[in-house]
Structure formats: structure tokens, C-alpha cells
């Protein structure tokens, strides 16, 4: 067959299955569901092997640090007796500088084991750097496909920084304009090279992050004699939250609240050429977080292993200006200069801590490396060149694509709660014209983490909307 758009899209499932070494058909049920746990456990990776692979590749066992100065700062704005202790898992200590190395270690290991000559990943960059670094260690070729610029050939400093990082490890970076060509070109490369699809959303990718949740649980138990009351996870495609939550639960931290956090980019469309460079964050925002939460199988594998609604207890957002504010606060108060993705959940945790008791603990589960393009000034300068106003004031007045409002006082830095019911209803919309079987309902109970009666009630509401 040719490489025309229609021909490639007609082959997408075949290409994806061949490139990841998994027969997804074996997990499918009759109806809408599939056996998620069977898919997650149908491989040769046990916990001991995962830890061994990661340790040998300078991944994992990262520091868990109490942010005493930021905790003290948050308590200035909390009611008496409030202000939870804030801890941070410093994932920038991993090879390549982010938690993504945990998932890349297993994907690259599997590619080498199965005899692939190279690996390919579609990513904005942090995961690409991780795949490239791990591929370099084992002698595999690496191609990173990156959505990088708009029709004016403009690209954000953060995206260019991530491309530089990937290339520094020897990867070939294929940069594309915003739009459907990313997935199309990705499929062509998989088909033509026969390389392994180091997908963010394969079971390997998610199992690799489970050690992060495990380490948080075990280290906190050792340090404080208890599990944390809450863990905040920057949410985009859902894999970070899924893997961390599974690791926490498997370690025994079943009562720890799992809170998703994203930058609020409501009103901007991630596939829009005109909107692409009106945002100042390439990941960890609602443009990815909401769609992947409500429809996880929009990813580059037939069934995504990242399924956040199974695990999240709450979902909060913060504005762009608050993340920039918290990035600088972390540097000036704690001496830790880190990139923006992890600081999204840190900004949320700073606000959430003020609602919690002072004897409670909230953990921010990751940081990322920083570099020239990830710093505040180049990002804000790029925004100004694109007509975005940079202001100080109330973050709740920020309009994505129009302005970026940094808090004029940390007292104004607040999170917003997303309606979990609306998220679940959005998930259910694509099934509103289907007669669901009992097996379908059981699948949805697990997918949405609610009982049968709630499923039925929400389906009725969806049909009547």
C-alpha cells in the first residue's frame, strides 16, 4: 500500500501492534471494554526486574525532600492549624532529568530484548530525551517526532530546548507543524523503519512509573511513620498519574488521596495553528489533560495503559502565571531551579496545603530538569512577542491566549476544582447510543471508579443533555 494519508490511517492498528510487540486483541471483551489488569500484567516484568533495570540505568531512588521554606510560606496565608507539610520527589535526579526516564527504561529494555534496531517516540520532548538517553546506553537508534512549530515557523523556547536535549543524546528529531500530520508521519516512520514504538501509553511505560509511587510510599513511611495524606500529580496524558497511583496502592497507601493538577488553558485548542503558540506550556495542561482523561484511547496504541479516571480522587487547575510564580519561589526559597511541568503540581500543592491540617503531608511527586528554553524569561518574552499581555494581579482573571497573570501576592495563588461528574459524563457521551451489557457496566465501574447505580444515573443525564 502507498503512504497516502488514507492508506496509512487504514493500517494504523496493524502498524501500532507490530511496533509495540503486543497483541491488544487478546484483551478485548465483547462490547466496549477490555481486560485492563490482564494487559498490565501480561509481560515478563516483575517489580524486582523493573527496579533492577532502572537502577542499572541511573533511574529511580530519587530524593524525597521536605520543602520547609515553602511550607512556612504557605502557612502565612492559611487559617490557624492549617498548612500541610509539603514534600517534593526530585525526579530531576534521574538520567535525562525527569520521571520519564522510569518509563523509557522499560520500553528501551523491551525493544532491545525483542530485537528491534531502534526506537521511535512521539513527544513534546522530556520523554524524547529519556528515550534517547536510554537508547544511547544500549546502542539502539532513536527517532523523536515532535510537534514543534506553527505555520509561521515559530516555535516556543521550551520546545526548542527539549529538541536540543534529545539531539544531545544522539537522537534524530523530526519536527513538524501543529495538526494531524504528527500522528500520520509517526505511523509512516514506524512502518518504514520497523522500529519499536516506545509509546508513553504502553504497559511498559506505565509499569515503569509504578516505582515512583512505591518509593514515595516507602520513603514516607520510613521518614514519618505514615503514608502521605495526598499526592499531587501533574496531569497531561494520564500515564504519570496512573503509574504513580498504582505504585502507591500496591505499596499499601490505599487511603492516600490522588490529586491531578493541570495548567488551565481552557479556550485554546491544541490542534489549532493560531492557538498553538498562545500557550506557554507544552505539557501538563488542560488541552491534553481533559481529552486524555475523558477519552484515554486517543493515544498511539490501541488501548492506553494510562487511565486516570480509575485513580484520581480530585482534579484541580492553576493558571499559567501561578506556575511561573512558583517556579521562581522554589528557586529563591529552596535553592532548587526546576522546569515548569513539575511546578504545575507544586503550585497546586502550595494552595491545597492551606486547606489541610498542619500535621498532614502533601507530596509533589516529580520535578524536571530545566534549561535555557525552559526558564521563565524566554517563555514570557516569547509570549509578549505573540501579543500576550504579562500582568500582575489576580490569577483568576487570566484569559488563556490573551494574558498571563502572575499573582501580585502569594495569597492570591489558588487552585480551582474541576467537576468530576462532568468529566465522567464526558467519558460516557460516546456510549449514549449503545445498549450497555452487564459486562460493559462492570468495565465502566472500574474505568470511572463509581458504582453501577451512578453509571446508570449519569448515562440517563447524558442522554437527556
* pLDDT the model gives residue 12: 87
**Do 195 and 186 contact (CB within 8 A), yes or no?**
no
Residue 312 has phi, psi (to 5 degrees) of -75, 140
Helix (H) or strand (E) holding 175: strand 172-177
Does one domain contain both 238 and 348? yes
Does one domain contain both 391 and 285? yes
Does one domain contain both 333 and 268? yes
Does one domain contain both 314 and 443? no
Is the pLDDT at 407 greater than 90? The verdict is yes
Nearest to 349 by CA among 309, 316, 394, 398: 316
Average of per-residue pLDDT across 344-355: 98
Does one domain contain both 454 and 400? no
* pLDDT the model gives residue 37: 97
Residue 4 lies in a domain: no
Helical ranges in 140-282 per DSSP H: 157-168, 181-193, 203-224, 239-251
**CA pair distance 216, 163, nearest whole angstrom:** 30
Residue 72 lies in a domain: yes
* pLDDT the model gives residue 299: 87
| Other Cβ atoms within 10 Å of 48 Cβ, number | 8
Nearest to 130 by CA among 148, 117, 142, 139: 142
**CA pair distance 175, 156, nearest whole angstrom:** 12
Residue 423: beta bridge partners? none
pLDDT class of 444 with cuts at 50, 70, 90 = very high
Nearest to 410 by CA among 279, 321, 281, 331: 321
Does one domain contain both 407 and 446? no
Does one domain contain both 340 and 448? no
Indicate which CATH number applies to the domain containing 361. 3.40.50.1100
* pLDDT the model gives residue 182: 85
Does one domain contain both 236 and 328? yes
Residue 452 lies in a domain: yes
**Do 167 and 194 contact (CB within 8 A), yes or no?**
no
Residue 180 lies in a domain: no
Distance of CA 12 to the CA centre of its chain: 24
Average of per-residue pLDDT across 297-305: 92
Average pLDDT of the chain?
95
Does one domain contain both 441 and 411? no
Average of per-residue pLDDT across 416-433: 96
Is the pLDDT at 101 greater than 90? The verdict is yes
Domain encompassing residue 454: 432-464
DSSP class of 29: P
Nearest to 238 by CA among 172, 195, 277, 289: 289
Domain count, the chain: 2
Does one domain contain both 286 and 363? yes
DSSP for 282-338, please give it.
Answer: SSSBHHHHHHHHH-GGGSSSSS-S--GGGT-SEEEEE-HHHHHHHHHHHHHHH----
- Please, what is the Cα angle at 259 between 201 and 68, to 5 degrees? 115
pLDDT class of 320 with cuts at 50, 70, 90 = very high
* pLDDT the model gives residue 17: 85
**Dmax of the chain from CA atoms?**
69
* 3-class SS of residue 402: coil
pLDDT tens figures, 41-72: 998 899 999 999 999 999 999 999 999 999 99
Residue 109 lies in a domain: no
* pLDDT the model gives residue 256: 98
Average of per-residue pLDDT across 139-153: 95
Strand 85-89 and strand 361-364: the pairing is parallel
Does one domain contain both 224 and 365? yes
Residue 1 lies in a domain: no
Nearest to 374 by CA among 353, 354, 351, 344: 344
Nearest to 159 by CA among 66, 247, 281, 46: 281
Does one domain contain both 458 and 401? no
* pLDDT the model gives residue 304: 96
**Count, residues in the chain:** 465
**CA pair distance 380, 367, nearest whole angstrom:** 21
Residue 384 lies in a domain: yes
b/e burial code for range 141-178 (CB count within 10 A of at least 16 → b): bbbbbbbbbbeeeebbbbbbbbbebbeebebebbebbb
pLDDT tens figures, 211-240: 999 999 999 999 999 999 999 999 999 999
pLDDT class of 266 with cuts at 50, 70, 90 = very high
Helix (H) or strand (E) holding 70: helix 68-75
pLDDT class of 428 with cuts at 50, 70, 90 = very high
Is the pLDDT at 2 greater than 90? The verdict is no
Residue 309 lies in a domain: yes
Is the pLDDT at 462 greater than 80? The verdict is yes
**CA pair distance 135, 5, nearest whole angstrom:** 29
Please report, for residues 312, 371, 455, the alpha-carbon distance to residue 442 in angstroms, rounded to integers and kept in the order given.
18, 46, 10
- Please, what is the Cα angle at 322 between 321 and 326, to 5 degrees? 120
pLDDT tens figures, 70-99: 999 999 999 999 999 999 999 999 999 999
* pLDDT the model gives residue 1: 64
Q: Which residue has the higher pLDDT, 282 or 362?
A: 362
* pLDDT the model gives residue 124: 76
**Grid cell at residue 96:** 535525562
3-state secondary structure 351-400: HHHHHCECCCEEEECCCCCCCHHHCHHHHHHHHHHCCCEEEEECHHHCCC
**CA pair distance 244, 342, nearest whole angstrom:** 14
Amino acid at each position: 500500500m502507498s503512504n497516502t494519508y488514507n492508506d496509512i490511517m487504514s493500517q494504523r492498528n496493524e502498524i501500532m501492534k507490530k511496533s509495540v510487540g503486543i497483541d491488544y486483541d487478546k484483551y478485548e471483551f465483547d462490547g466496549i471494554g477490555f481486560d485492563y489488569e490482564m494487559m498490565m500484567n501480561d509481560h515478563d516484568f516483575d517489580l524486582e526486574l523493573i527496579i533492577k533495570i532502572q537502577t542499572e540505568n541511573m533511574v529511580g531512588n530519587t530524593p524525597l525532600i521536605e520543602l520547609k521554606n515553602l511550607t512556612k510560606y504557605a502557612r502565612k496565608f492559611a487559617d490557624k492549624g492549617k498548612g500541610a507539610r509539603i514534600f517534593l520527589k526530585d525526579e530531576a535526579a534521574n538520567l535525562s532529568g525527569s520521571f520519564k526516564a522510569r518509563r523509557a527504561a522499560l520500553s528501551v529494555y523491551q525493544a532491545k530484548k525483542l530485537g528491534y534496531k531502534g526506537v521511535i517516540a512521539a513527544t513534546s520532548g522530556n520523554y524524547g530525551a529519556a528515550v534517547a538517553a536510554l537508547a544511547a546506553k544500549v546502542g539502539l537508534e532513536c527517532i523523536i517526532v515532535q510537534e514543534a512549530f506553527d505555520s509561521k515557523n515559530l516555535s516556543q523556547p521550551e520546545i526548542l530546548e527539549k529538541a536540543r536535549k534529545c539531539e544531545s543524546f544522539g537522537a534524530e528529531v523530526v519536527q513538524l507543524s501543529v495538526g494531524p500530520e504528527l500522528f500520520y508521519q509517526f505511523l509512516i516512520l514506524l512502518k518504514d523503519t520497523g522500529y519499536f514504538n516506545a509509546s508513553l501509553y504502553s504497559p511498559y511505560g506505565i509499569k515503569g512509573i509504578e516505582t515512583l509511587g512505591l518509593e514515595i510510599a516507602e520513603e514516607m513511611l520510613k521518614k514519618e511513620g505514615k503514608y502521605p495524606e495526598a499526592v499531587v500529580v501533574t496531569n497531561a496524558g494520564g500515564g504519570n498519574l496512573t503509574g504513580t497511583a498504582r505504585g502507591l496502592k500496591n505499596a499499601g497507601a490505599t487511603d492516600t488521596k490522588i490529586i491531578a493538577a493541570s495548567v488551565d488553558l481552557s479556550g485554546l485548542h491544541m490542534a489549532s495553528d493560531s492557538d498553538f503558540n498562545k500557550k506557554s506550556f507544552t505539557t501538563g495542561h488542560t488541552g491534553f489533560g481533559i481529552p486524555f482523561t475523558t477519552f484515554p484511547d486517543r493515544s498511539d496504541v490501541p488501548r492506553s495503559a494510562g487511565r486516570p479516571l480509575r485513580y484520581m480522587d480530585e482534579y484541580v487547575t492553576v493558571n499559567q502565571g501561578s506556575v511561573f510564580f512558583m517556579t521562581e519561589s522554589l528557586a529563591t526559597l529552596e535553592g532548587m531551579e526546576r522546569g515548569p511541568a513539575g511546578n504545575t503540581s507544586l503550585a497546586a500543592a502550595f494552595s491545597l496545603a492551606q486547606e489541610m491540617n498542619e500535621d498532614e503531608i502533601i507530596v509533589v511527586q516529580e520535578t524536571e530538569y530545566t534549561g535555557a528554553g525552559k526558564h521563565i524569561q524566554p517563555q514570557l518574552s516569547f509570549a509578549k512577542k505573540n501579543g500576550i499581555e504579562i500582568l500582575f494581579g489576580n490569577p483568576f482573571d487570566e484569559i488563556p491566549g490573551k494574558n498571563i497573570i502572575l499573582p501580585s501576592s502569594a495569597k492570591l495563588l489558588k487552585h480551582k476544582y474541576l467537576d468530576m461528574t462532568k468529566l465522567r459524563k464526558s467519558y460516557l457521551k460516546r456510549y449514549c447510543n449503545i445498549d450497555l451489557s452487564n459486562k460493559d457496566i462492570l468495565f465502566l465501574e472500574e474505568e470511572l471508579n463509581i458504582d453501577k447505580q451512578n453509571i446508570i444515573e449519569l448515562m440517563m443525564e447524558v442522554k437527556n443533555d
